[in-house]
């Protein structure tokens, strides 16, 4: 069947009806008639027209009856309206973790579209890009699809999982949801052996096997899977953990820290909050601790010795540099501008660690630079 001739022979209302049926669900006649703005009699005629074009539209039984599009071996050409074609193109151009497969799909979509839509897709493809994270992982689209099928079908799955240290362990879980975050794909699942929710990086899953067991889905502690993921990351304990009590409202801290913040901010009274940071990276913890201190409010700091030492050294360098500025005539002595400080929690942020990072060095408190005591060194 020639795709262009089929499209030219279908009025916009039929295309709209077909678009609704291609969503995979069964529609009642009343729902379809309301969405299309037609009578039940006109709807029946449109359904008969689609059947005459070899689309297998099935009638469903029930109180009101309805329609659905049956999958078949001989499926007529895929019909997309302008917005759908551009949306698919945008998704394929900006997809993370499966770029090679996305480019192949984009090339096929380009060939399948009618001539009038190809320039719009070419414009999207040629002028749209996404910032790639240097640490972004690559996933097998088939693995993502298989996990998605298991989530939707409520099928228990087995797989071998490599943690961030490279150790592999067999796991059996009830898959709940897939979330893309920070350049990685994550599976949220309930681990029956541990009787708790766990988060797995999809690129570390190997040997995925669907079992014959089905499960009744459990309710997440948080209704939004993305919120659950980020909160679990923020509450995880890693090698270096810092806690700051800051004399600023929690909402002000959140709004004044730019970009994604790899920590938890919790109100602890009127006009004050507690900030918790934890990561395996000492650099990351120190960078974001300094970011919070630089907000200029009074604070108290509870951190491991390594964090205290790093921050004291930075404060000392800052004080020395302020007292004796580098020779402006000598470029070798001039300090260049700081590079982008954006960082995100390492991929294994959801995996718990019992290490506390060498213990605490006690609490330190003081003014931020420029405070009433007039000394940057007194911070730590």
**Strand, helix or coil for residue 187:** strand
Q: Residue 24: give its domain's CATH number.
A: 1.10.10.10
Please tell me whether residues 243 and 351 are part of one structural domain: yes
Q: Is residue 22, in this structure, part of any structural domain at all? A: yes
Residue of 334 and 219 predicted with greater confidence: 219
- 241: closest CA among 341, 340, 342, 361? 361
- Is the domain of 255 the same as that of 122? no
Mean model confidence pLDDT for the chain: 78
pLDDT at 159 over 90: yes
Question: Once rounded to an integer, what is the mean pLDDT over residues 352-379?
Answer: 41
Greater pLDDT, 78 or 241: 241
**Is 291 a domain residue?**
yes
pLDDT at 1 over 50: no
The larger pLDDT score, comparing residue 211 to residue 121, is at 211
Q: In what order do the strands lie in the sheet with 57-60?
A: 27-28, 66-69, 57-60
Q: How many structural domains comprise the chain?
A: 4
Residue 242 within any structural domain of the chain: yes
What's the confidence (pLDDT) of residue 348?
37
pLDDT value at position 300?
Answer: 94
Q: Are residues 272 and 350 in the same domain?
A: yes
Rounded to 10 deg, the angle between the 12-21 and 40-52 helix axes is: 80
Give the residue with greater pLDDT, 376 vs 95: 95
Are 261 and 219 in contact, with CB atoms under 8 Å apart?
Answer: no
**pLDDT for residue 176 is more than 80:** yes
Claim to verify: residue 309 and residue 362 sit in the same structural domain = yes
Give 100's contacts (C-beta < 8 A, 6+ positions apart): none
Closest CA to 187 of 173, 200, 197: 200
CATH number at residue 213: 2.30.30.100
Is there a single domain that holds both residue 367 and residue 264?
Answer: yes
362 and 285 within one domain: yes
Domain that holds residue 310: 236-326+343-379
> Contact 264/276 with Cβ under 8 angstroms?
yes
Of 153, 158, 151, 195, give the one whose Cα is nearest residue 173. 158
pLDDT of res. 250: 92
Lowest mean pLDDT among 226-230, 239-243, 322-326: 322-326
- The DSSP secondary-structure symbol of 2 reads -
Is residue 230 included in any domain, yes or no? no
Classify residue 75: in a domain, yes or no: no
CB 271 within 8 A of CB 248: yes
- pLDDT bin (cut points 50, 70, 90) of residue 238 is confident
How much is the pLDDT for 279?
A: 86
Structure tokens at 357: 């990072």
Lowest model confidence (mean pLDDT) among 57-61, 101-105, 270-274, 347-351 = 347-351
Looking at 222, 254, 277, the residue that finishes a domain is 222
41 by DSSP, 3-state: which?
Answer: helix
318 & 258 share domain: yes
pLDDT band of residue 18 (cuts 50, 70, 90) is confident
User: Would the pLDDT of 191 be above 90?
Assistant: yes
Greater pLDDT, 78 or 264: 264
Q: Is residue 274 part of a domain?
A: yes
- Assess whether pLDDT exceeds 70 at residue 169: yes
Coil, strand or helix: which one is 254?
Answer: helix
Contact 235, 243 (CB under 8 A): no
Q: 235 to each of 214, 241, 279, 315, how far by Cα in Å?
A: 31, 10, 10, 28
Q: Which residue has the higher pLDDT, 93 or 271?
A: 271
Q: Collapse the DSSP code of 312 into the 3-class scheme (helix H, G, I; strand E, B; otherwise coil) and give the result.
A: helix
278 in a structural domain? yes
pLDDT at position 320: 76
Q: Are residues 182 and 315 in the same domain?
A: no
Note whether 4 and 118 are within 8 A (CB): no
CA 190 – CA 195 distance, rounded (Å): 7
Q: Is the pLDDT assigned to residue 369 strictly greater than 50?
A: no
| Shared-domain flag, residues 183 and 122 | no
CA-CA distance, 97 to 237, in Å (whole number)? 27
Average confidence (pLDDT) over 85-89: 82
Q: Are 238 and 163 in contact (CB under 8 A)?
A: no
365 and 280 part of one domain: yes
For residues 271 and 348, membership in a common domain is answered with: yes
Residue 8 has a pLDDT of 45
pLDDT band at 31 (very low <50, low <70, confident <90, very high): confident
Give the model confidence (pLDDT) of 278-324 as tens digits: 988 899 999 999 999 999 999 999 999 999 999 999 888 887 765 44
Q: 360 and 291 in one domain?
A: yes
278-to-104, 253, 297, 350 alpha-carbon distances in Å: 40, 17, 21, 11
In a domain, 211, yes or no: yes
Dihedral of alpha carbons 120, 121, 127, 129, sign: positive
How far, in whole angstroms, is CA 164 from its chain's centroid?
Answer: 19
Query: pTM above 0.95?
Result: no
Calpha distance 158→153 (Å, rounded):
15
């Amino acid at each position: 069947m020639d795709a262009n001739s089929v499209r030219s022979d279908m009025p916009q209302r039929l295309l709209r009806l077909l678009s609704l049926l291609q969503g995979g669900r069964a529609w009642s006649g009343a729902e379809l008639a309301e969405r299309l703005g037609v009578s039940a009699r006109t709807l029946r005629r449109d359904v008969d027209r689609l059947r005459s074009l070899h689309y297998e539209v099935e009638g469903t039984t029930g109180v009101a009856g309805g329609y659905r599009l049956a999958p078949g071996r001989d499926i007529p050409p895929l019909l997309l309206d302008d917005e759908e074609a551009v949306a698919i193109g945008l998704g394929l151009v900006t997809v993370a973790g499966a770029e090679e497969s996305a480019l192949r799909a984009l090339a096929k979509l380009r060939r399948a579209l009618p001539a009038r839509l190809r320039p719009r897709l070419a414009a999207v493809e040629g002028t749209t890009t996404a910032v790639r994270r240097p640490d972004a992982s690559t996933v097998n689209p088939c693995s993502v699809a298989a996990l998605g099928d298991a989530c939707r079908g409520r099928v228990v799955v087995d797989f071998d999982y490599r943690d961030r240290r490279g150790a592999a362990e067999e796991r059996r879980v009830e898959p709940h949801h897939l979330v893309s975050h920070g350049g990685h794909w994550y599976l949220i699942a309930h681990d029956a052996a541990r009787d708790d929710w766990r988060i797995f990086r999809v690129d570390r899953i190997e040997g995925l096997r669907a079992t014959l067991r089905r499960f009744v889905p459990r309710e997440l502690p948080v209704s939004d899977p993305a919120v659950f993921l980020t909160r679990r990351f923020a509450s995880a304990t890693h090698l270096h953990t810092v806690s700051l009590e800051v004399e600023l409202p929690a909402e002000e801290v959140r709004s004044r820290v730019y970009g994604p913040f790899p920590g938890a901010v919790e109100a602890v009274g009127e006009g004050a909050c507690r900030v918790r940071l934890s990561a395996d990276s000492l650099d990351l913890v120190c960078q974001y601790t300094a970011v919070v201190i630089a907000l200029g409010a009074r604070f108290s700091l509870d951190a491991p010795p390594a964090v205290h030492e790093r921050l004291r050294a930075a404060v000392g360098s800052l004080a020395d540099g302020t007292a004796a500025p580098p020779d402006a005539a000598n470029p070798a002595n001039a300090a260049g501008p700081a590079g982008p400080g954006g960082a995100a929690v390492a991929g294994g942020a959801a995996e718990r660690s019992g290490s506390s990072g060498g213990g605490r060095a006690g609490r330190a408190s003081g003014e931020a630079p420029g405070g009433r005591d007039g000394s940057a060194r007194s911070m730590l």
